[in-house]
A and B are shown apart, each in its own frame.
Chain A
Amino acid sequence: MKPSRLPLVTALVVLVFFYLPIAMLIAQSFNAAKFGGQWNGFSFRWYQELWAREDIHQAAWNTLLIAVTSTIASVVLGALAAWCIHRYKTRTQRIHYGLIYAPLVVPDILMGLSLLFLFVNVGVQLNFTTIILAHTTFCLSYVTLVMLGRLQDFDDAVIEAAQDLGAGWGTIIRRILLPLLGPGLAAGGLLAFTLSIDDFVITFLVSGPGNTTLPVKIFSMMRRSSPQVINALSVIFMSVTFITVLLSQRLTRPQP
């Protein structure tokens, strides 16, 4: 039987489709021309311009600070949640699991909108803290699911054995849980970190004036001017993410 060519052809077309915009972006970031229409020669002009933009630096710094804070918060909360759902099979935990799962099926725009309502109704100013609270909320579900996946392979008997041998919870956490579940925590944390850095829609709705993150900044730059600077910014942003992803692949690769 002659195998069909269709899957191969589709896959190649799809891969070209996936990489075309990115290749174009990289090429454009080195284009000396002010608009993308023609090629005026190779230049670092846009990177130099980027270097001088204080507002972009500030946004990048905000993004990083928000990502680190909400990663820590969501890993702590997510690890606790996964532990409870895994260990106690009570009705409370079934509701708990439902609460963890539900945010995953709600589109960003609705989540952002509902958080905006909450903050407005309570009367808090939209600022850094509201962004961190929002990011922690959507990262929490992902971290918990990653941790739950790890806990499925975890043998609870190890803990009982340690308890029988007289270990207290402090020792168990330090000597058993952290080493065995560490890679899961790291994977969940990296996921939370990238999700937070990447988020635009929710941040856009819950950020006040003056606390922009990089994606929100990019959005407002797109509406106004300087498209070529965005290309340069995108290439840097992209390189940082690629390096993080490749590193995390190294870290989380199963040990032989």
Chain B
Amino acid sequence: MKKRRWIEQALTWPSFGWLVIFFAVPTVLVFALSFKPADLSGGAAPGWTLETWRSLNNPAYPGIVWRTLWLSGACTVVCLGLGVPVAYWIARLDVRWRQRVLLLIILPFWTNFLIRIFAWRTLLHPDGFVKSVCVSLGWAEPNTQLLYNNGAILLVLVYTYLPFAILPLYAATEKFDFTLFEAARDLGATKWRAFRSVFLPGIRTGLLTAFLIVFIPALGSYAIPAIVGGPTSEMIGNKIAQRATTDRNLPHAAALGAVLTLVIFVPLGVAAYLRRRDRLDVTTTPVDEPASP
């Protein structure tokens, strides 16, 4: 089948080549460029150096990396915490209503995300709605600043990524066999115990997907901290963009980009490990896919 092979090559070439040129090569370039000296015109000068990596020793950076990690982590925890009950609620609805509620959940997120961040900035503004409600309820002092801090970033991060957590959690919950839950209760498990030892393991693929789909993009946030965060609540993404656009120090941006890439390997590694462990103990998994109604 010589001819077939030839056809395969010809059909594969366009997208394969495209991704090599515009994805694989640029990704490698990020690492390569971080070992180049900066050039005054915004490019890279010839030769190789470790200077850029040494300059990451800047005392400001560990703080920024740490903030990026904890804000993304907190966002993931809150999204999973809210997403599980919401997914559970939707999965137990009438089939006709499920589609409608899902559309209701996705619809706001078809709005451009800058617009949604901007809406939060207006809401949290010193003259905004949330502030006046909080003050009239006595939750906040008239001079409390709701914007430009880590709390505002976390709130908007959750707002942005929550639907992305709900969707995979719903997909997993919908497949969950709820009679198992009742069986656990009949055998004397408390509600909490049944939830923890039967329900959560049953939807673990959904939990894993939700974790990846929220945590990784949150690590790379740029626009959210840029709009609702202050100068003291920057994340890695802001520093990368600042070095690449305003300062035009590409090697420095590259080194920070390389740091972010390495940070992303952590959740990916965790997910790969959990998947592999899952595959090993499939035989002990009690959950079968129920036949669709």
Residues of A near any B CB (own CB < 8 A): 1, 4, 6-8, 10-11, 14-15, 17-22, 24-25, 28, 35-38, 76-78, 80-81, 83-84, 87-88, 90, 92-93, 95-96, 99-100, 102-103, 105-111, 113-118, 120-121, 133-134, 136-137, 140, 144, 194, 197-198, 200-201, 204-205, 214-215, 218-219, 222, 227, 230-231, 234, 237-238, 241-242, 245, 249
Those 3 A-B pairs whose CB atoms lie nearest each other, nearest first: A107-B220, A37-B127, A114-B26
Q: Can you add 6 more A-B contacts, CB < 8 Å, to A100-B15, A109-B241?
A: A18-B108, A38-B127, A110-B264, A117-B29, A134-B22, A201-B223
B37 within 8 A of partner (CB) = no
**For window 68-87 of chain B, which residues contact chain A by CB distance below 8 Å?**
82, 85-86
Q: Is the CB of B42 within 8 A of A120?
A: yes
A-B contact pairs, 8 of them (CB 8 A): A10-B82, A14-B105, A36-B125, A113-B240, A198-B113, A204-B241, A231-B122, A241-B110
Interface-central residue, A21, A22, A92, by most chain B CB under 10 Å: A21
Cβ–Cβ < 8 Å partners of A227 in chain B: 118, 122
B219 within 8 A of partner (CB) = yes
Contact of B118 among A20, A205, A230 (CB under 8 A): A230
Cβ–Cβ < 8 Å partners of A108 in chain B: 217, 220, 222
Complexed CA–CA distance, A137 and B257 (Å):
19
B175 within 8 A of partner (CB) = no
CB distance from A102 to the nearest CB of B (A): 7
Residues of B near any A CB (own CB < 8 A): 8-9, 11-12, 14-16, 18-27, 29-30, 33, 42-44, 82, 85-86, 88-90, 92, 101, 103-105, 107-108, 110-116, 118-123, 125, 127-129, 159, 162-163, 185, 191, 212, 216-217, 219-223, 227, 237, 240-241, 244-245, 250, 253-254, 257, 260-261, 264, 268
Complexed CA–CA distance, A97 and B162 (Å):
28
Q: Is the CB of A10 within 8 A of B129?
A: no
CB distance from A153 to the nearest CB of B (A): 15
Contact of A219 with B114 at beta-carbon distance under 8 Å, contacts A99-B16, A114-B30 already known = yes
Complexed CA–CA distance, A80 and B22 (Å):
17
Residue of B with least CB distance to A218: B114
Q: Is the CB of B30 within 8 A of A140?
A: no
Q: Is the CB of B257 within 8 A of A7?
A: no
Q: Is the CB of B122 within 8 A of A25?
A: yes
Complexed CA–CA distance, A99 and B16 (Å):
8
Contact of B89 among A8, A102, A103 (CB under 8 A): A8
Contact of B112 among A7, A17, A81, A215 (CB under 8 A): A215
Contact of A113 with B30 at beta-carbon distance under 8 Å, contacts A92-B12, A105-B264, A219-B114 already known = yes
Contact of A237 with B220 at beta-carbon distance under 8 Å, contacts A88-B8, A110-B260 already known = no
Contact of A113 with B257 at beta-carbon distance under 8 Å, contacts A11-B89, A107-B216, A205-B244 already known = yes
Q: Is the CB of A218 within 8 A of B237?
A: no
Cβ–Cβ < 8 Å partners of A136 in chain B: 18, 22
CB distance from A220 to the nearest CB of B (A): 11
Complexed CA–CA distance, A242 and B110 (Å):
7
Cβ–Cβ < 8 Å partners of A231 in chain B: 122
Contact of A81 with B123 at beta-carbon distance under 8 Å, contacts A8-B89, A88-B8, A242-B110 already known = no
Cβ–Cβ < 8 Å partners of A90 in chain B: 8
Q: Is the CB of A21 within 8 A of B116?
A: yes
Q: Is the CB of A234 within 8 A of B119?
A: yes
CB distance from A227 to the nearest CB of B (A): 7
Contact of B33 among A15, A18, A117, A219 (CB under 8 A): A117
Contact of A25 among B44, B92, B115, B250 (CB under 8 A): B115
CB distance from B52 to the nearest CB of A (A): 14
CB distance from B73 to the nearest CB of A (A): 15
Complexed CA–CA distance, A234 and B120 (Å):
13
CB distance from A64 to the nearest CB of B (A): 14
Cβ–Cβ < 8 Å partners of B123 in chain A: 20-21, 24
Cβ–Cβ < 8 Å partners of A10 in chain B: 82, 85-86, 89
Contact of B19 among A87, A118, A140, A230 (CB under 8 A): A140
Q: Is the CB of A117 within 8 A of B110?
A: no
Complexed CA–CA distance, A215 and B227 (Å):
13
Cβ–Cβ < 8 Å partners of A222 in chain B: 114, 118, 121, 227
Complexed CA–CA distance, A8 and B25 (Å):
49
Cβ–Cβ < 8 Å partners of A106 in chain B: 27, 261, 264
Complexed CA–CA distance, A128 and B226 (Å):
25
Complexed CA–CA distance, A234 and B123 (Å):
15
